[in-house]
Chain A
Amino acid sequence: MSATEYERTPAIAEKGYETPLAHDLEAIWESKPGIRGFLSTVDHKEIGIRYLVTSFVFLVLGGIEALVMRLQLAGPNKSLLTPEQYNELFSMHGLTMIFLYALPVLSGFSNYLFPLVLGSRDMAFPRLNAFSYWVYVASGIFMYASLVLGFAPNDGWFSYVPYALKPYNPGPNMDFYALGMIFYGVSTTVGSANFVVTFLRMRAPGMSINRVPILTWGTVTVSFGNLFAVPAVSLAFLMMWADRQFNTHFFTPETGGQPLLWQHLFWMFAHPWVYVVVLPAMGLVSDALPIFCRRPIVGYTVVVLGTITTMVLGFGVWLHHMFATGLPFLALSFFSAASFVITIPSAVAVFAWIATIWTGRPVITTAFLFFAGFIAMFVIGGVSGVMTAAVPADRQLTDTYFVVAHLHYVLIGINLFAVMGALYVWFPKITGRLMSERLGRWNFWLVFVGFNLGFFPMHVTGLMGMPRRIYTYPDGLGWDTLNLITTMGAFVLAIGILLLLINLAISRRGGAPAGPNPWDGPTLEWATPSPPPPYNFPVIPLVASRHPLWEERLGETEAGHSEIHRGPVLADGKEALATTALDAQPDVILKMPEDSYAPFVVTLAMAVAFTGLLLANWWVAGIGGLAILIGSLVWLWPEAALAQKARRPA
């Protein structure tokens, strides 16, 4: 048989959601009911929802940890927590929010939305997608097991050596973190590869690279970033674990190791990571804000270029976490300059959003309030970041509460505000129900007031000299009142987030029916029913503009008209269409894999292997390793059904 025998030109037909074709597709794409379907599904929508739910569970856990710390810090010389308990809590809080909440919640949106906004039926690698979720959950449980067992990581999310090494930290605390992070890195890596390939090859015909929604640009940019950044930190944690386990002396100064090496490797990853957890959120806002301004975003092209520039520059600023480490001023001046310059592409986005609001006609929904608040918080977190770019100023600011304030304005302001707004926008798509606007207003204002009440005073606490990561502080230094205000703000913020959760719970069943396009949005996901069927689109849509659902009204028809319900019919089994990377010309029909237990089983095997490494039980680790190998073989075993066939199987 030669390759040509498989060639096939799909029929072009006009088919809607209530046709025999759609019923066939439903049968082909739907997962099994019950636990079997739960463990084996590869549906990107199901996986996206799981990412969202799981990351919110971790958000709540990290939030509770923060509240306990805030009680300890509400006044001077409190002894609610021992120093060790406090140190474990701030470490868990940091790693939870940064790793187990901030990126996974964005991956949730991206997983759910990528195929829908790109006009595709699934991600490029559906099983890898399921795998990336399972590994995320397993590594999260692995790291949280330490807290349950009483050996939580106690050296912060940054885990500076030598404190993280055996002589100062003999318990298994740091082993949990080091191995957990290597484990977690697998999830991020495969997830990123999947987003990159999906973005490049799974777009609807005609959706050339300048017509994709900005949220996919945000995610694909950081996915590229992850592929370069994650290896640095996985290597660093492997070296740390080896130092702890085998005395390899990578970081031990008395035997020729270099403590600063850790900081370089860690921040080479961790600074880009800051952009990784904000750029996709900025993308969500860049797509959703214009819906409520009733106009397309101002400056699509520069916003996209700004996103990419930020990520690239983000790799050149890691030293600004190390301004006080004694490096020579000449080296620091380069990184200082880069840290100023990286503000410019962010300014592009800010002015694009403001211009969109000014030249549009804003509709004040809860989602819009979150996005408007997001812009203000973005700017506060941005300018305080600029202050830390100035080396001499930073040598005072660094490691004080000023930086705590800064990073929370960045992470809560740019990530959580965007996420909450995005939930109000896309929850109706996911569930078919609108969220309550009434509760939404309370939700927004409590979060907005609580957040600013809690975190704005922290800038001042920092300027008044309060260092970070201290479990208590004396009176007489002027920090008492500010800390009490911060604690009160933290609780108001928590109540606001509780309201969000209540709103989600109530609206899931009791919300007003949303219909396919409650906000009159411009992109392809709004052309599907809410919730969308497992196959997303009965025929692959053909796209002729950036705003397929607005193009007639905007007169964006110079390249023809987009066709949502008329396009290639792909129904010989699970099929999707791959298009070319730049112009999205139809390229090849993809046979998509069926549901599979393999991702779940391989994840279990990995959990066994990592537990073996943690216990230094090489037999268990070996068995786990072997199981990974066998599981992967089964997973990747060639299947005839996945080959291209000209004819539908009988």
Chain B
Amino acid sequence: MRNARRAIVAGSGMAAALLAAPRPACALGWADFPMNYLTTAGVKERPVVALTWGLMGISIAVIVLISLFVLVGVLRRRNTDVSLPEATRIPVVRPRSGLAWISIGVGVSTVVLLGMMGWTAVTMAKIARPPVDPAVTIEIRARQWWWDARYESGDPTRIVDVANEIHIPVGKAVEFKLQSDDVIHSFWIPALGGKTDVIPGQTNMTWLQAERPGVYRGQCAEYCGKQHGHMGIVVVADVPEDFQAWLDGQISPAREAASQQVAEGRDRFIQRCGACHTVRGTRAGGALGPDLTHLMSRGSLAAATLPNKIAYLSGWIANPQTIKPGAQMPNLEISGPELASIRSYLETLK
């Protein structure tokens, strides 16, 4: 699971194999397109996928039919045997009125359009509300250019913030409250559901429900500035027991430093990074960047931009502005030994 999660980040098409879609005989399958929305793993998306295929089928049929009409019409009685502009000495006539083309063509089009309209309305009614009451509510706060997700709970000690990787329980509806403090973003997990914009000053609601376990990549879908292209998000659908275990793990504070070396790394982290990042259980309490309390539980870094591997982590800490130019995280001019020390601490944040 962990490997797959890394792969889907940007590294390789392997992740795709996890999307349990049937693989057609041709060389490329749906699974080679983790962001496609012609297949789905979501309850909400199932009627939409049917609608999209249906509309597309009708569209392709219309294109083929009309193109044939044009092509045959052109070839049937064409004049190419005369040179220009003599060609236009062909007499002008007013033959049949041809109005039947319009009345039949437009009549059929109208019936088809009304059918599509009805199908659309029925689909809208189907996806407006989840089939069962949501089991989990997640407050998404979209930022330039990453995602904060807060799991709500009636018990204040069980409210927890995670970043860029959300886990949800399979088979249960999950409600999302979408908020932004900066510009407009759009929350989009293609395999599970369509887009809902995240607009400052208002809270938009949406819901998703995964049918089967998997790792589903999403991406911000409303232009939001320089790093709009690197604002990915990953949704991991777990069986309910795994989800509960994951959530409990996230709620717990960071583990204590087990050695003097790690404790030094922690102090350096607090000093250099703590103004922007939070690690619960330490004095690092910044809120500008992602919560890093359980960084190592995530498959990716920098909003699904890099796989969460040590080499990438080092590169990111040393030089975020090369990887995501314009990102809020500055190049901190961290020395080699300092970087190694901070990294050795981050590695313990399981």
Residues of A within 8 A of B (CB): 82-84, 87, 155-156, 160, 162-163, 168, 253-254, 257-260, 291-292, 294-296, 298-299, 302, 324-326, 329, 332-333, 336-337, 340-341, 343-344, 347-348, 350-352, 354-365, 368, 372, 375-376, 379-380, 383-384, 386-387, 389-400, 434, 437, 463-478, 514, 518-520, 522, 550, 553-555
User: Is the CB of B287 closer than 8 A to any CB of chain A?
Assistant: no
Provide 25 A-B residue pairs closer than 8 Å at the C-beta atoms, listed in order of the A residue.
Answer: A156-B223, A168-B144, A168-B225, A326-B205, A336-B117, A344-B113, A347-B105, A364-B74, A365-B87, A368-B74, A372-B70, A375-B66, A383-B58, A386-B113, A389-B116, A390-B52, A390-B120, A392-B51, A400-B221, A465-B37, A465-B219, A468-B223, A472-B229, A478-B33, A520-B92
Cβ of B13: which chain A residues have Cβ within 8 Å of it?
A: 475-478
CB interface residues, B 113-139, toward A, < 8 Å: 113-114, 116-117, 119-121, 123-125, 127-128
Q: Which stretch, B94-102, B157-165, B278-286, touches the partner chain A?
A: B94-102
> How many chain B residues have a CB neighbour from A under 8 Å?
108
B67→A379 contact, CB < 8 A: yes
Select A386's contact among B12, B59, B190, beta carbons within 8 Å. Answer: B59
A363→B88 contact, CB < 8 A: yes
Cβ of A82: which chain B residues have Cβ within 8 Å of it?
A: 325
**A361: nearest chain-B partner, CB-CB:** B77
Q: Which stretch, B181-189, B242-250, B289-297, B334-342, touches the partner chain A?
A: B181-189
**A461: nearest chain-B partner, CB-CB:** B33
B48→A363 contact, CB < 8 A: no
Select A329's contact among B38, B99, B124, beta carbons within 8 Å. Answer: B124
Cβ of A473: which chain B residues have Cβ within 8 Å of it?
A: 229
**A518: nearest chain-B partner, CB-CB:** B85
Given A84-B226, A384-B59, A393-B48, decide whether A550 and B98 contact each other with a Cβ distance below 8 A: no
**B195: nearest chain-A partner, CB-CB:** A324
User: Is the CB of B2 closer than 8 A to any CB of chain A?
Assistant: no
Name the distance in Å between A601's Cβ and chain B's nearest Cβ.
40
B195→A395 contact, CB < 8 A: yes
Cβ of A463: which chain B residues have Cβ within 8 Å of it?
A: 36-38
Name the distance in Å between A438's Cβ and chain B's nearest Cβ.
10
Q: How far is the CA of A314 from the CA of B182 in the complex (A)?
A: 32
A465→B113 contact, CB < 8 A: no
Name the distance in Å between A76's Cβ and chain B's nearest Cβ.
9
Q: How far is the CA of A258 from the CA of B195 in the complex (A)?
A: 20
Q: How far is the CA of A44 from the CA of B184 in the complex (A)?
A: 45
Name the distance in Å between A416's Cβ and chain B's nearest Cβ.
18
B113→A340 contact, CB < 8 A: yes
Q: How far is the CA of A393 from the CA of B101 in the complex (A)?
A: 31
Given A259-B184, A294-B90, decide whether A351 and B10 contact each other with a Cβ distance below 8 A: no
Beyond the given pairs A294-B91, A337-B117, A386-B113, 14 more chain A to chain B contacts, judged by CB atoms under 8 angstroms and listed by A's residue number, are A258-B201, A295-B95, A299-B99, A324-B194, A325-B204, A343-B113, A347-B110, A360-B77, A365-B84, A465-B37, A467-B188, A467-B229, A468-B223, A474-B9
Question: Which of B14, B93, B182 gathers most chain A CB within 10 Å?
Answer: B93
Q: How far is the CA of A375 from the CA of B188 in the complex (A)?
A: 35
Q: How far is the CA of A295 from the CA of B91 in the complex (A)?
A: 9
User: Is the CB of B43 closer than 8 A to any CB of chain A?
Assistant: no
User: Is the CB of B267 closer than 8 A to any CB of chain A?
Assistant: no
User: Is the CB of B288 closer than 8 A to any CB of chain A?
Assistant: no
A392→B10 contact, CB < 8 A: no
Q: How far is the CA of A352 from the CA of B100 in the complex (A)?
A: 10
**B185: nearest chain-A partner, CB-CB:** A163
Q: How far is the CA of A84 from the CA of B113 in the complex (A)?
A: 42
Q: How far is the CA of A543 from the CA of B12 in the complex (A)?
A: 70
Given A162-B183, A259-B201, A291-B88, decide whether A348 and B106 contact each other with a Cβ distance below 8 A: yes
Q: How far is the CA of A294 from the CA of B9 in the complex (A)?
A: 60
Select B11's contact among A168, A390, A476, beta carbons within 8 Å. Answer: A476
Q: How far is the CA of A478 from the CA of B39 in the complex (A)?
A: 15
Name the distance in Å between A644's Cβ and chain B's nearest Cβ.
41
A295→B120 contact, CB < 8 A: no
Given A291-B88, A295-B93, A379-B63, decide whether A163 and B117 contact each other with a Cβ distance below 8 A: no
Name the distance in Å between A358's Cβ and chain B's nearest Cβ.
4
Cβ of B326: which chain A residues have Cβ within 8 Å of it?
A: 83-84
Q: How far is the CA of A356 from the CA of B96 in the complex (A)?
A: 10
Select B51's contact among A254, A352, A390, A476, beta carbons within 8 Å. Answer: A390
B84→A396 contact, CB < 8 A: no
Cβ of A84: which chain B residues have Cβ within 8 Å of it?
A: 226, 325-326
B74→A391 contact, CB < 8 A: no
A465→B79 contact, CB < 8 A: no
Select B201's contact among A254, A469, A472, beta carbons within 8 Å. Answer: A254
A550→B92 contact, CB < 8 A: yes
B113→A355 contact, CB < 8 A: no
Select B227's contact among A83, A340, A360, A514, beta carbons within 8 Å. Answer: A83
Cβ of B82: which chain A residues have Cβ within 8 Å of it?
A: 363
B222→A168 contact, CB < 8 A: no
Name the distance in Å between B37's Cβ and chain A's nearest Cβ.
4
Cβ of A155: which chain B residues have Cβ within 8 Å of it?
A: 223
Cβ of A375: which chain B residues have Cβ within 8 Å of it?
A: 66, 70
A347→B106 contact, CB < 8 A: yes
Q: How far is the CA of A380 from the CA of B188 in the complex (A)?
A: 26
User: Is the CB of B25 closer than 8 A to any CB of chain A?
Assistant: no
A163→B225 contact, CB < 8 A: yes
**A383: nearest chain-B partner, CB-CB:** B59
Name the distance in Å between B209's Cβ and chain A's nearest Cβ.
15
Q: Considering the complex of A and B, which 5 residue pairs feature the smallest CB-CB distances, nearest first?
A: A465-B35, A253-B201, A395-B194, A470-B229, A355-B101
Cβ of B69: which chain A residues have Cβ within 8 Å of it?
A: 354, 358
Select A168's contact among B79, B84, B85, B183, beta carbons within 8 Å. Answer: B183
**A341: nearest chain-B partner, CB-CB:** B113
Given A259-B199, A326-B196, A392-B127, decide whether A292 and B102 contact each other with a Cβ distance below 8 A: no
Bitwise interface map of B from 47 to 71 toward A, beta carbon under 8 Å scored 1, else 0: 1100110011011001100110110
Bitwise interface map of B from 154 to 185 toward A, beta carbon under 8 Å scored 1, else 0: 00000000000000000000000010001110
A354→B225 contact, CB < 8 A: no
Given A326-B205, A355-B98, decide whether A387 and B56 contact each other with a Cβ distance below 8 A: yes
Select B186's contact among A341, A399, A514, beta carbons within 8 Å. Answer: A399
Question: Which of A260, A352, A384, A386 gathers most chain B CB within 10 Å?
Answer: A386
Given A340-B116, A357-B70, A520-B89, decide whether A393 and B55 contact each other with a Cβ distance below 8 A: yes
B92→A522 contact, CB < 8 A: yes
User: Is the CB of B15 closer than 8 A to any CB of chain A?
Assistant: yes
Cβ of B190: which chain A residues have Cβ within 8 Å of it?
A: 396, 465
Given A361-B90, A390-B55, decide whether A465 and B36 contact each other with a Cβ distance below 8 A: yes
A464→B35 contact, CB < 8 A: yes
Given A83-B325, A340-B116, A476-B10, decide whether A359 and B95 contact each other with a Cβ distance below 8 A: yes
Q: How far is the CA of A210 from the CA of B31 in the complex (A)?
A: 57
B92→A553 contact, CB < 8 A: yes
Select B73's contact among A337, A344, A358, A518, beta carbons within 8 Å. Answer: A358
**B7: nearest chain-A partner, CB-CB:** A476
Given A344-B113, A347-B109, A387-B56, decide whether A298 and B98 contact each other with a Cβ distance below 8 A: yes
Q: How far is the CA of A329 from the CA of B121 in the complex (A)?
A: 9
Select A357's contact among B73, B113, B116, beta carbons within 8 Å. Answer: B73
Given A82-B325, A476-B11, decide whether A390 and B59 contact each other with a Cβ distance below 8 A: no
Cβ of A363: which chain B residues have Cβ within 8 Å of it?
A: 78-79, 82, 87-88, 90
Cβ of A253: which chain B residues have Cβ within 8 Å of it?
A: 199-202
Name the distance in Å between A641's Cβ and chain B's nearest Cβ.
43
A358→B76 contact, CB < 8 A: yes
User: Is the CB of B265 closer than 8 A to any CB of chain A?
Assistant: no
A296→B63 contact, CB < 8 A: no
Q: How far is the CA of A514 from the CA of B88 in the complex (A)?
A: 13
Cβ of A383: which chain B residues have Cβ within 8 Å of it?
A: 58-59, 62-63
B224→A163 contact, CB < 8 A: yes
Given A344-B113, A383-B62, A437-B84, decide whether A475 and B94 contact each other with a Cβ distance below 8 A: no
Given A362-B79, A395-B194, A467-B219, decide whether A376 and B228 contact each other with a Cβ distance below 8 A: no
Given A163-B225, A344-B109, A472-B229, decide whether A396 and B199 contact each other with a Cβ distance below 8 A: no
